[in-house]
Structure 1
């Protein structure tokens, strides 16, 4: 590798990462270019361990169902359940089967054993209860929110807003919300039915009730219970909004859906950081330890995200872009790039790409000062994005280098 860029190439460790930051972010985001078990998760796990032990990080949040993630958090903080149960039920997208995720959860539980509550490591999922082919029923979120309110407020007040029997009747069987044909046939969706429309209004009323009685509810609840109630509220309203657009037949349907998903992600990230989605700051944010975020690069980047679905280009603002707008320099993003992913047909990168430039060096794994690399190379910086033969790997876009804090480069995955 040319010696003129050696000063922007560092070993992947917490000190090198923190050294590239302008301040101490509330959210430190580590992207991945593909969802793959193995070295990528090993790098994440080791970095999180160092951030915990050297920089005071106490939370990791990953691209997984926010409600399922509560099971993982209960396990790592209190030992509730077993590791096998948590890996089966606490992750979405099938990622509980990944050895790297299992190792992370096991280590977090061992770290927490015997520690005081204030020093515990926490786990959170920040994705909605969504899959690429559909969305979950809003039942779990709605009934949990209703249950939180009904145990803390007058029964007459709750019933006047929405009785549990009303929710049950409007929700109906869960399988009508999760019908597998919905993604390709909007007519199969109940998202714009009379029941769903009434549920959206009731969910909004329940969240309004939560906010209106916030002083009393916060005073009579633990912070965990209050945070979970807020999570149930935004998940219920987000799911009902998502189901509405699943029933849409316009050409913008897919764009709406991917945008709504990242909006839900952003709201969850802001909440984990202790920042209300509707304000620049919020009470309690300053006393929260910083958070490591792990997800696909496309969900964390500041620039506009894009992909092709059904043969059509789709563009939207990612969760990272939304959160960065709220937090400014308190949000930092490191993209991960790969040299090879041979078991998926991604072989040695061309020399006229950023990946090819980094692959020519001796480092198996490195963190790169992205802005420093762009400044050092100037006009010699490769501008051609790498083309992947496999749809599941998203190459690094050289145009984004000046808008990110760093690149974690893994030579061979």
Structure 2
């Protein structure tokens, strides 16, 4: 069997990736089974550099706050801000602390130096302004959307003034109350003010759509893209807060589903821009239905990858990443009969696996699923392999890789 699997294994490079795919995708999704591992970030950086230089890719998207990501995009495109400040403010979930992410931003800025706007690399966050413990205030998105319209359309068409939004929003810490995730009664998402804001946000989005001809004539494409981002985020956040205040049994499943739905909307918008490399957890990018235990009950929802894949068909490609060991987290050599164990027996440190040849080598059998000794690592589900376009396998993950990522 090892010889058959070996025939399915290739080097991880852009040309080989493209050779595995039935068509050139608008979104190439590279999943990861855990966050923050230096080798995985290095591999992503190397692949993105090759996609830029060989395949004409111009955008990379990360599982990070979509609004904060604008700070990074401004830096890499125009040099706004310092690297230290940008990675701290522009990357959520503390991703800026990882050297591989910092190196990515540094390289993108260096690449863009002196290039015309049409050739510059772009950065995008695709996650909502959310954490697993709660959500941000909708203030930034709502006020930015209102400001965009107020500067370009007749004031009589606006559904409210900026002062009205400010009054209804109130203090931001009302929205970010940490206890609200576990206690719906602590959420402001179904207060009369929040209900009014949802209606106003809907009216603002409708006005943005209705004024498209005028806005095309008076706004730069970049400004229009950001206005649509503010619109998606404002309505998404208000919807998320509304359901945080819900006490029904489906509350948590709805919330995790809403998060992935917001990610999917951002990804579909990026697909309109041009070929994009997307980097996020396997669970967000997979085509299969997602499942997890949370709050003492099983949850099921459709991931961002499942939603986007349904819309784009062959325009969406997904490479799942699997790991052999994570020594510093106690994840040891995988059992030899698991999928990770079979790949671990091969000599390559990094490999790209052709899943069609792999299925042939396995002769239709499905290896047993690996169990992780560390909650932060999600082993690859063998039943999901057929839903991928390839597997990237890294034999041994090191937090601080020897090489420095994108160059």
Establish whether TM, by shorter chain, passes 0.5.
Answer: yes
Residues of 2 paired with 1:315 and 1:199: CA distance?
29
User: In structure 2, what is the equivalent of residue 205 of structure 1?
Assistant: 203
Task: Measure, in 2, the Cα distance between the counterparts of 1:156 and 1:259.
Answer: 37
Cα distance in structure 1, aligned partners of 2:50 and 2:225: 27
Pick from 168, 171, 174 the counterpart of residue 170 of structure 1. 168
Q: CA RMSD in A?
A: 0.9
Which residue of 335, 349, 354 maps to 2:320? Answer: 335
**Using a 3 Å threshold, how does the CA distance of structure 1 residues 67 and 268 change in structure 2: closer, same or farther?**
same
| Secondary structure in 2 matching 1:215 | helix
Unaligned runs of 5+ in 2: 398-407
Q: After TM superposition, give the deviation of residue 382 of structure 1 in Å.
A: 4.0
Query: 1:65, CA displacement in angstroms?
Result: 0.2
User: What residue number does 2:276 align with?
Assistant: 291
Q: Partner of 1:6 in structure 2?
A: 6
In 2, distance between residues paired with 1:298 and 1:221? 37
1:377 Cα deviation (Å)?
1.9
Q: C-alpha separation between the residues in 2 aligned to 1:386 and 1:318?
A: 22
Partner of 1:150: 150
Runs of 4+ with deviation above 6 angstroms: none
Q: What's the counterpart of residue 234 of structure 1?
A: 232
| Distance in structure 1 (CA, Å) of the matches to 2:267 and 2:55 | 20
Instruction: Pick one of 245, 249, 267 that aligns with 1:251.
Output: 249
Within 2, Cα distance between the matches of 1:401 and 1:188?
41
CA shift for structure 1 position 311 = 2.5
| Aligned residue in 2 for 1:358 | 343
Contact 1:37 1:99 in 2 (8 A): no
Q: Tell me how far apart the structure 1 counterparts of residues 366 and 46 of structure 2 sit (CA, whole Å).
A: 30
Tell me how far apart the structure 1 counterparts of residues 335 and 16 of structure 2 sit (CA, whole Å).
27
- How many angstroms apart in 2 are the aligned matches of 1:289 and 1:257? 30
Deviations 1:267-313 (A, max 9, x none): 00000111xxxxxxxxxxxxx43100000000000001111112321
Alpha-carbon distance in structure 2 between the residues aligned to 1:184 and 1:289: 40
Give the Å deviation of 1:2.
2.0
Q: Is the 8 A contact 1:371 1:401 kept in 2?
A: no
Provide the residue aligned with 2:78 in structure 1: 78
Task: Name the residue aligned to 2:125.
Answer: 125
Aligned counterparts of 2:202 and 2:310: Cα–Cα separation in 1: 25
Paired with 2:287 and 2:47, the residues of 1 have a C-alpha distance of 22
Distance 1:349 1:48 in 2: 29
Distance 1:141 1:170 in 2: 14
TM-score normalized by the length of structure 2: 0.96
User: Which one has more relative contact order, counting CA pairs under 8 Å at least 6 apart?
Assistant: 2
Provide, for residues 7-32 of structure 1, a one-character-per-residue CA deviation record: whole Å limited to 9, x for no partner: 21001111111110001000000000
> May I ask how many residue pairs the two structures share in their alignment?
397
Residue pair 2:6, 2:346 contacting (<8 A) in 1 also: no
Stretch deviating more after TM superposition (235-244 or 10-19): 10-19
* Corresponding position of 2:384: 400
Per the alignment, residue 301 of structure 1 pairs with 286
Distance in 2, matches of 1:48 and 1:271, equals 20
Aligned residue number for residue 45 of structure 1 = 45
2:329 aligned with 1:344, yes or no? Answer: yes
2:403 match:
none
Cα distance in structure 1, aligned partners of 2:299 and 2:333 = 29
Shift of 1:6: 2.2
Distance of 1:402 and 1:293 partners within structure 2: 20
Unaligned segments of structure 1, at least 5 residues: 275-287
> Could you tell me whether the CA contact under 8 Å between 1:186 and 1:249 is conserved in 2?
yes
Distance in 1 (CA, whole Å) between partners of 2:106 and 2:36 is 19
Map Cα deviations across residues 77-113 of structure 1 (whole Å, 9 max, x no partner): 0000110110110011110111010000000000000
Q: What is the match of residue 265 of structure 2?
A: 267
For 2:37 and 2:218, locate their aligned partners in 1 and report how far apart those are by CA, in whole Å.
42
User: What TM-score does the superposition give when structure 1 sets the normalisation length?
Assistant: 0.95
How many angstroms does 1:367 deviate by?
Answer: 0.5
